[in-house]
Chain A
């Protein structure tokens, strides 16, 4: 009797098998292409004179040209375009639709602008993936684009909420500038300046090495500038950065005791990135290349005053969905909004630091807000080896964290 009872028990409790997220099925959402522009320095870089619609158009022209002919010659197969953007008015709903049309995507393909702050690019990917999952579309394009140079002026750095809400302590927390949320983390969990500078210098060194050895060549699509010059190299990384050289910089937010500097925070940047997703059954039918598959995505809320802890809570949440644990992940791309918050997340989750941002992060490469999530996917899918599992994550202003799991094929 006990054997029969145990058998029934196994059938009732055996549902969540770890492999369920890791074998391939025709319903999988797969990534056909993931690319980005080089990332330009804000206010003085190559893209300082152009706006997001120009960047997006040029990027799309290159991206479409790189597609296999089954898609390139039949762009109407793209069921939807979602584009992440933070700083443009209305997240760029008008000008980015215009850029898509100018790039040759037919008017029959609808467009949606997505803004979830720094996770907008990743959220756009999730939006497309979900639509594929439920069967609304078969193929979709997720984009992210930002010109912090052109549009930083559009946001009041203190944000705007009505006077009536300002008296509400909880609402007011959403206005804390990002730098201060990072100082809160550094202070609360005693992450000192030296440690932050060391982390930042390593980011610079990794990015510099990756850039020099051409590791970004496959993911970067060169785009022409109005001058005719091609823009194909990240402008953020610089040589010979050490924790000592970063140690010279003055705190940016809290004059005397602060630990956050321009050197250990993400750079202000411009750029674009894009990810083409499809259902596996359709990708195979059209003979499209499959780079990897999208497994899961989650966003969590965290206290706005320490918004940088987001990844420390989003990553376990998404790994739970995928029945994976931290040690099974081969590479983490965790956005380096600031060194202190990134360090907190890495330590809190017990991640082996060598697995985090092996090609540098936003401190060295830059953080074009709405583009970042898509940029990280382009990077991670080119650095993972077949069958390796990667996690993309970032903290989000006003107190959130997002994370997604991808498997390279």
Chain B
């Protein structure tokens, strides 16, 4: 385990460089990210196995997310509390090389497209998702997961399953398999899938469903191997795994008492869920880049976990070489350990983000949180 302490700064996001095997970036804020400056840390893991600061960039407001450029190995994008996105170049000091200012409120997330390498997406507390091209100062497209028509369905009074109406889009991510597919999750519990080829400004998402029964959905991630599988984490402390092909139709209501909305969020059944894995809200979920059924979660309960999705078996776990995995019909509840591969407990505050190392032996993970620590640890045996 490696540890790096960022005195006075709380970690909100951490990501391994996609180009350099020893480099990490961490987005942080002072005063627990509630008020004050932010700082982007570029850390190098030295040959002696120590994390050292290569550069840092002080920002005027707290930083909530970051995304390494997939185009330029030196560039790193941050999501800032003042509504701006800033692109820093690690060969330069102090100032960003580009500023993208459109979000009205805090930018909650940013994500670089793995396929369309000059495209990235951002989401914010203003309820908007914006698609950007790196060379253009203005967004290419603005999407709104919450439209007038689905709001009517989502916020029915007095029904169990109604949402708190929170607009904030906590995370938006491109599909690693198809650069025109983008998924995002919101404070109103919904997960929205946008097909950018079909999306029109002002129109709702291509698909939308309530993922955490009315509780805020804080994180979403595409599986890196199974093209239709996503995972979500929410304030109901659950992690859910969904197959986008199984967007089962049916009224949103769980009690059959609400009329169906015009373009309402459907009630969808997940293919697997991890219940009781975390004692508090799940802040981030992140699928392994090395295995189709390993998942990293970080939580307000100060722990991070690696889970095995018991609903799916890969060739390796099944011990044959047919070339394909299969669904098993099992759920994580059918496993006595709930599919838990490992739990990391060294953080002493909320753990906000974690990322898998793409480099070296599979299974290394970097995590960061409110305690100002960055830990690098081995998550899988």
Contact with A23, one of B105, B267, B332 (Cβ below 8 angstroms): B267
Chain B residues numbered 320-367 whose CB sits less than 8 Å from any CB in chain A = 329-336, 350
Given contacts A19-B254, A26-B271, A281-B329, contact A11 B336 (CB under 8 A): no
Residues of B contacting A4 in the complex (Cβ-Cβ under 8 angstroms): 33-35, 81, 106
Interface segment, A132-140, A170-178, A299-307? A132-140
**Of B125, B166, B213, B273, the contact of A27 (CB 8 Å cutoff):** B273
Across-interface contacts of B214 in A (CB, < 8 A): 17-19
Instruction: Specify which chain B residues have a CB less than 8 angstroms from the CB of A135 in the assembled complex.
Output: 333-336
A133 pairs with B254, CB closer than 8 A: no
Q: Which residues of B contact A138 (CB under 8 A)?
A: 334
Does A14 make an interface contact (CB < 8 A)?
Answer: yes
Q: Which residues of B contact A323 (CB under 8 A)?
A: 160
Residue total for B at the interface (Cβ-Cβ under 8 A): 49
For window 343-401 of A, CB contacts with B under 8 Å fall at: 386-389
From 17 to 64 in chain A, residues with beta carbon under 8 angstroms from any chain B beta carbon are: 17-20, 22-27
Report which of B105, B106, B216, B271 forms a contact with A14, defined as CB distance below 8 A: B216
Q: B270 to A25, Cβ gap below 8 A?
A: yes
- State A386–B334 Cα separation when bound (angstroms): 27
Task: Give the residues in chain B near A239, CB-CB below 8 Å.
Answer: none
Contact A285 B329 (CB under 8 A): yes
- Distance, CA A25 to CA B35, complexed state (A): 39
Among candidates A7, A14, A25, residue contacting B273 with C-beta atoms closer than 8 Å:
A25
B161 at the interface (CB under 8 A from A): yes
Any B CB within 8 A of the CB of A15: yes
A387 and B161 alpha carbons, distance in the complex (Å): 14
Q: Which residues 206-259 of B sit at the A interface, judged by CB distance below 8 A?
A: 212-216, 218, 235-237, 240, 253-257
In angstroms, Cα B214 to Cα A21, docked, is 12
Chain A stretch 305-344: residues in CB contact (< 8 A) with chain B: 323, 328
A279 interfacial contact with B, CB 8 Å: yes
Select the residue from B166, B218, B255 with max chain A CB neighbours within 10 A: B255
Identify the closest chain A residue to B267 (Cβ): A23
Closest to B162 in A: A19
Shortest A232–chain B CB gap in Å is 33
State the Cβ distance, B191 to closest chain A Cβ, in Å: 14
How long is the Cα–Cα vector from A7 to B271 in the complex, in angstroms? 29
Interchain CB contact under 8 A, B334 and A22: no
Given contacts A20-B213, A25-B269, A25-B273, contact A133 B280 (CB under 8 A): no
In the complex, A158 has a CB within 8 A of chain B: no
8 A Cβ contacts from B255-311 to A: 255-257, 267, 269-273, 275, 280-281, 283, 300, 311
Complex CA distance for A7 and B329, rounded to whole angstroms: 37
Minimum CB distance partner of B329 in chain A? A285
B164 contacts chain A at the CB level, 8 A cutoff: yes
Measured in the bound complex, the distance between the Cα atoms of B267 and A22 in whole Å is 12
Question: Taking the complex as formed, is A5 at the interface, i.e. its CB lies under 8 A from any CB of chain B?
Answer: yes
B331 and A281 within 8 A (CB): yes
* Cross-chain contact B256 with A11 (CB below 8 angstroms): no
Q: Which chain A residue has the least Cβ–Cβ distance from B337? A: A135
In contact, B33 and A15 (Cβ under 8 angstroms): no
In the assembled complex, which residues on chain A have CB atoms less than 8 Å from the CB atom of B333? 27, 133-135, 279
Quick one: which of A1, A24, A136 contacts B34, CB cutoff 8 A? A1
Chain B contacts for A136, CB-based, 8 A: 336
Contacting pair A20 B329 (CB below 8 A): no
In this complex, the member of A14, A20, A24, A388 whose beta carbon has the largest number of chain B beta carbons within 10 angstroms is A14
Given A19-B160, A135-B336, A281-B331, does the pair A11, B235 have CB atoms closer than 8 Å? Answer: yes
CA distance A243 to B181 in the complex (A): 70
> Chain B contacts of A10 at CB under 8 A?
164, 166, 187, 216, 235
* Contact residues in A for B335 (Cβ distance below 8 Å): 135
Instruction: Using known A-B contacts A14-B216, A27-B273, determine if residue A22 contacts B235 with beta carbons closer than 8 Å.
Output: no
Residue from B161, B164, B253, B331 having most chain A Cβ neighbours under 10 A: B331
Q: Do A386 and B273 have beta carbons less than 8 Å apart?
A: no
CA distance A3 to B35 in the complex (A): 10
- Once A135-B334, A281-B331 are accepted as A-B contacts, the answer to whether A11 and B218 lie under 8 Å apart by CB is yes
B168: CB under 8 A from chain A? yes
- Determine the chain A residues whose CB is within 8 A of the CB of B35 once the complex forms: 1, 4
CA distance A12 to B255 in the complex (A): 27
B residues within 8 A CB of A24? 254, 269
Which residues of A lie under 8 Å from residue B105 when comparing CB positions? 3
Is A282 on the interface with B (CB-CB < 8 A)? yes
Residues of B within 8 A of A18 (CB): 160-161, 214
Q: How far is the CB of B299 from chain A (nearest CB, A)?
A: 10
Minimal beta-carbon separation of B170 from chain A (angstroms)? 9
A15/B215 contact (C-beta < 8 A), A22-B255, A135-B334, A281-B330 known: yes
- Residues of B119-162 at the interface with A, using a CB-CB cut-off of 8 Å, are 125, 160-161
Interchain CA distance A22-B215 in the complex, whole Å: 13
CB-CB nearest in chain B for A389 = B255
Q: Bound state CA distance, A336 and B98, in angstroms?
A: 75
- The reply to whether B267 and A12 form a contact with Cβ atoms under 8 Å apart is no
Chain B residues whose C-beta falls within 8 Å of the C-beta of A1 in the assembled complex? 34-35
> Which residues of the other chain, B, contact A282 by a CB distance below 8 angstroms?
329
A22 and B160 contacting across the interface, CB-CB below 8 Å = yes
Question: In the complex, what distance in Å separates the CA atom of A17 from the CA atom of B254?
Answer: 13
Would you call B161 and A22 a contact (CB within 8 A)? yes
Cβ-defined contact, B254 with A387, below 8 A: yes
CB-based contact B235/A19 at 8 Å: no
Contact (Cβ within 8 A) A14 B215: yes
In the complex, residue of chain A having the shortest beta-carbon distance to the beta carbon of B330:
A281
Report A-chain residues with C-beta under 8 Å of the C-beta of B270: 25-26
- Which residues of the partner chain A approach B280 to less than 8 Å between Cβ atoms? 11-12, 15
* Least distance between B252 CB and chain A CB atoms (Å): 10
- A348–chain B nearest beta-carbon distance, Å: 25
Q: In angstroms, how far is the closest chain B Cβ from the Cβ of A407?
A: 9
* A8: chain B residues within 8 A (beta carbon): 34, 350
Question: Are the CB atoms of B236 and A15 closer together than 8 Å?
Answer: yes
Contacts of B47-92 to chain A: CB distance below 8 A: 81
Contact call A11/B216, Cβ cutoff below 8 A: yes
Residue A19 contacts which of B161, B166, B168 (CB distance < 8 angstroms)? B161
Whether A17 lies near B256 (C-beta < 8 A) is no
| Bitwise interface map of A from 187 to 218 toward B, beta carbon under 8 Å scored 1, else 0 | 00000000000000000000000000000000
Smallest distance from the beta carbon of A293 to chain B beta carbons, Å? Answer: 11
The CB with the most chain A CB atoms within 10 A, among B105, B267, B311, B334, is that of B334
Q: Tell me the smallest distance from the CB of A106 to a CB of chain B, in Å.
A: 21
5 A–B contact pairs at CB < 8 A?
A14-B164, A18-B160, A19-B254, A133-B333, A135-B333
Other A-B pairs, 18, CB within 8 Å; known A7-B168, A11-B235: A4-B106, A10-B216, A10-B235, A11-B300, A12-B281, A14-B281, A18-B160, A22-B255, A25-B270, A27-B273, A27-B275, A135-B334, A135-B335, A135-B336, A136-B336, A279-B331, A285-B329, A387-B257
Query: Which 10 pairs between the two chains have the least Cβ-Cβ distance?
Result: A387-B256, A19-B213, A19-B161, A135-B334, A27-B333, A14-B235, A1-B35, A285-B329, A11-B281, A19-B160
